[in-house]
Structure 1
Amino acid sequence: MAGVATGKGYELEMPSNYMSLKDAAEAAITQLVEPYPKTKKLWGLLNGDAEMNADWDMSNYIAVSKLNFNDHGETHAKIVAASGLRMLRLLLDNGVTASIMKDKAGTEDDAFLIVMAAGLLHDIGNQVHRENHHISGVYLAIPLLNRLLPEVYDDPEAMYEVRGHILHCIYSHEFEVPDLTVEAALVGIADGTDMTKGRGRIAFDKGNVNIHTVSALSIDRVDIQQGTEVPVEIHIYMNNSAGVFQIQETLGKKISPGPLQDYVQAVAIASPDEPLADLRIVHKLVINGHRLEAKK
């Protein structure tokens, strides 16, 4: 049951198809960080850390159980981290350099570490409140990073500079805040790619029926792949044209404007071809006072 307190904190029962994405994200992160010793070590530290787990649990408790929003916990964080790392790999393979590398302030390993850590941490401010969560997230991330980064970096100055990059990514992952680095743009765009139907199922089932939840339920799959005209193509497969709202209002605003608007392209694909009519998500809507309810 969503929001039930257990011995391990507040846990949420996520849809099985969305939980399978968490397993896939963990496998992808593990594979992508394998060549990078610092990133690999921090991944191991964060993935098993009690404070990190509590941050994810409490972020979901506030966002989902109290506000009836979509998932903002562990599953979402790991999907964002995996997507950001995939896109970073594609950019580097196509000659697009991360900011910390371009400025000769760090290595490829540092760039991967920044994107991974920021992806995992970007939404932890939701445990304070959804409002200004990108600001709360910065303050919550500082003590955690101060505790774990010294286990990865021998040079304190280099460590604190990397920490600064991570904090910028967390602060600017909302589309209203301009991304000033490639790494920040990657985290913001990756945040927008987590739009598959499982993410919105809990909020919808709890009665939060609006264009955001309906649109999220219209997205069957999101794939990140090598582009034909740009280095990164994000393919979004929809079963219902309502998914266009999710793409335009969530993902589109995180791509443009920004440092990567010329290197990342989103492609929306409606399927299946038959039947020609959209698959129905909502069969009947009833306005009950100030509440919009879906009825069978």
Structure 2
Amino acid sequence: MREMEAGAAPETAGGRVVEFTTPRAKLIEEASRAIRADLAGYPRALAAYEALRADPEALAHWDMANYVTMRKLGYNDHGRVHAFITGAASLAITELLLDAGVRTDIMESGVGDAEDVFLAVILGTMLHDIGNQIHRAGHEAHGVALALPILDRIMGPLYADPFKRTKVRSFILGAINCHDLSPAPLTVEGGIVAVADGTDITKGRGRKAFALGSVDIHSISALAVDQVVIERGRDKPVLISVTMNNSGGIFQVEEVLAPKVIRTPMRNFVELRAAIRPQGEEQILSRVRLDGDHFVMDLDGGETVRVEVEDTQKKVTDAIAQNLGVSAESR
């Protein structure tokens, strides 16, 4: 397994690490190196990635999505850096799942093999946020519309059979549409994209928003997360470990990452843990881990506390459904 540093990807022993490094170009370069290494054995998926990273339309989409989210809304990074960081993370997760014998939906449906899975995951992950350039509201559906011509341009030369190409493309579009859990993804590929998106919570992502004057729980809590490690788990195929310098980072884990594990097919395959580094603030809790839909907190005094994850998106969805008289089971 490879490690990704700050969304970047140096080679170390253990897992893929995401932590904070400064230069934007270096982040993209290191993430790109990790992506190429993961796709080296999959020439069609690698060709798709190379076409995407050089596509002028995709490059413009990333820049404009970032302009709207950061400059107009004061959000964290949603542009090129985020696309490359999450792209590298998604391949690390995919590799761990396939190594553990997990059959994704592209495989289970008979649509394709591992190469098609890697291609769908990298394209879906790197294009998932481009709809933000139109507006944050409805950005998932906007992203589907904007991604279509890019996918057709990239996939056309790679899939001679339009029947198969259209089927593989459907998994990519589904992942883009469901990456923010509105609605929650139904496929493993969609779950990989959602979880990879949720792993980009380190302080490198929040620093620019903070510097631009967006001082809120999102930017502050992002500054409290030093590192995210994606590696092989003991009880499940994937272990995601978050290291914080301050307990404020728990907001990122609880509000951003945990729901993307809990509300997707990845729930069965991912262990999630968070801890404050020893040299951080005065410790109140020593470790947090996800158990089902609860966080289990190990306090410094030796006590253990279980807290249900606050999934605000699900609460809003349930409230709307209740007002419409629709049961949760029927949705």
Taking structure 2 as the reference length, what is the TM-score of the superposition?
0.77
Residue 108 (str. 1) matches residue 114 (str. 2): yes
Deviation at 1:275, TM superposition (A): 5.9
Contact conserved, 1:239 with 1:270, CA < 8 A, in 2? yes
Counterpart of 1:6 in structure 2 is none
Mapped partners of 1:59, 1:245: distance in 2: 24
1:23 positional shift? 2.5
Pair 1:184–1:193, CA change in 2 (3 A): same
Checking the alignment, whether the CA contact within 8 Å between 1:122 and 1:173 is kept in structure 2 is yes
Q: Which residue of 1 aligns with 2:267?
A: 261
Q: Out of 203, 220, 231, which is 1:197 matched to? A: 203
Cα 1:275–1:200 shift into 2, 3 Å: closer
Partner residue in 1 for 2:242: 236
1:72 aligns with 2:48: no
> What are the Cα deviations for residues 89-110 of structure 1, in whole angstroms up to 9, with x where unaligned?
0011111111101111101100
Please list the CA deviations of residues 230-272 of structure 1 after superposition, one character each: whole Å capped at 9, or x if unmatched: 1100111100000101000000010002211021011102113
8 Å CA contact 2:245–2:280 kept in 1: the answer is no
In 2, distance between residues paired with 1:110 and 1:167? 14
Instruction: Measure, in 2, the Cα distance between the counterparts of 1:29 and 1:86.
Output: 9
Q: 1:90 aligns with which of 84, 88, 96?
A: 96
8 A Cα contact 2:242 2:274, kept in partner: yes
Report the equivalent of 2:304. none
Write out the 4+ residue segments of structure 1 that deviate beyond 2 Å after TM superposition.
Answer: 17-24, 272-278
Deviation at 1:207, TM superposition (A): 1.7
For structure 1, the 5+ residue unaligned runs are: 1-13, 279-296
Q: Percent identity?
A: 42
Q: CA RMSD of the aligned region, Å?
A: 1.6
Deviation string, structure 1 residues 129-182 (Cα, Å, up to 9, x no partner): 111100100000011111221121111111111111100000000123121100
Secondary structure of 1:204's match? Answer: helix
* Cα drift, residue 27 of structure 1: 1.1
1:57 maps to 2:63:
yes
**Structure 2 residue identity aligned to 1:180:** L
Distance in 1 separating the partners of 2:72 and 2:141: 20
SS of 1:236 mapped into structure 2: strand
Q: Report how many residues are paired.
A: 265
Task: Please tell me whether the aligned partners of residues 91 and 118 of structure 2 are also in contact (alpha carbons under 8 angstroms).
Answer: yes
Secondary structure class of the residue paired with 2:268: coil
Q: Secondary structure at the match of 1:28?
A: helix
Inter-partner Cα distance in structure 1 for 2:53 and 2:280: 42
Alignment CA distance shift 1:133-1:54 (3 Å): same
Q: Which amino acid aligns with 1:195?
A: I
The worse-fitting range, judged by mean Cα deviation, of 239-248 and 21-30 is 21-30
Out of 140, 143, 153, the residue aligned to residue 146 of structure 2 is 140
SS in 2 for 1:233: strand
- For residue 161 of structure 1, what is the aligned residue in structure 2? 167
Alpha-carbon shift at residue 277 of structure 1 (Å): 5.9
Q: Which residue of 2 aligns with 1:178?
A: 184
Q: What amino acid sits opposite 1:176 in the alignment?
A: S
**Structure 2 CA distance for aligned equivalents of residues 78 and 151 of structure 1:** 23
Distance 1:19-1:197 versus aligned 2 partners, 3 A rule: farther
